[in-house]
C-alpha cells in the first residue's frame, strides 16, 4: 500500500521550455520591462502624454532614437519603437492542433487524391 502511494505522488518533468526565448536578454531573464518600464501600450501612452518636450527628447535619446523638434512625429516614432519592443517579448500564440475539419472540408481535400 505504501509503495502505491509513493508512485502516485511522483511527477515527471518533460524538459520543454514553455516560452522560447527570442533574444539573448530573454535568455538571461529579462522580461522586457527594463527598457520602457512597462509592456502595456496604454500606460506608455499616458507616460508620453505626461512628458514635456525636453523630457520627451531626453526619453527618445535614452531609448536610442534621434530626438526631433516635432512633438507629434516624435511621439509617433516612440510608439512605433515601443510596439516593436513589445512584439519581441509577447509570447507567441499557441497553435491549435485539434483535428476539427468539417466534413465539407474533408470532401474538398479528398478530391485531390
Is residue 48 domain-resident? yes
Residue span of the structural domain in which 87 resides: 38-92
Helix pair 53-63, 71-89: axis angle to 10 deg = 40
Is residue 68 domain-resident? yes
Q: Are 78 and 41 in contact (CB under 8 A)?
A: no
All 3 cell numbers of residue 98?
Answer: 485539434
pLDDT in tens, the chain (113 residues): 555 566 667 666 666 655 666 667 667 666 667 788 888 899 999 999 999 999 999 999 999 999 999 999 999 999 999 999 888 877 666 666 666 678 888 888 888 77
Is residue 66 domain-resident? yes
Is residue 80 domain-resident? yes
Domain count, the chain: 1
All 3 cell numbers of residue 9?
Answer: 505522488
Amino acid at each position: 500500500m505504501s509503495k502505491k502511494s509513493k508512485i502516485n505522488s511522483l511527477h515527471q518533468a518533460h524538459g520543454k521550455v514553455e516560452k522560447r526565448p527570442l533574444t539573448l536578454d530573454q535568455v538571461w531573464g529579462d522580461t522586457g520591462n527594463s527598457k520602457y518600464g512597462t509592456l502595456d501600450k496604454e500606460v506608455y501612452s499616458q507616460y508620453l502624454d505626461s512628458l514635456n518636450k525636453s523630457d520627451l527628447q531626453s526619453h527618445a535619446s535614452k531609448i536610442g532614437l534621434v530626438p526631433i523638434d516635432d512633438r507629434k512625429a516624435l511621439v509617433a516614432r516612440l510608439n512605433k519603437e515601443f510596439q516593436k519592443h513589445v512584439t519581441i517579448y509577447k509570447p507567441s500564440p499557441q497553435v491549435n492542433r485539434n483535428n476539427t475539419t468539417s466534413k465539407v472540408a474533408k470532401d474538398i481535400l479528398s478530391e485531390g487524391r
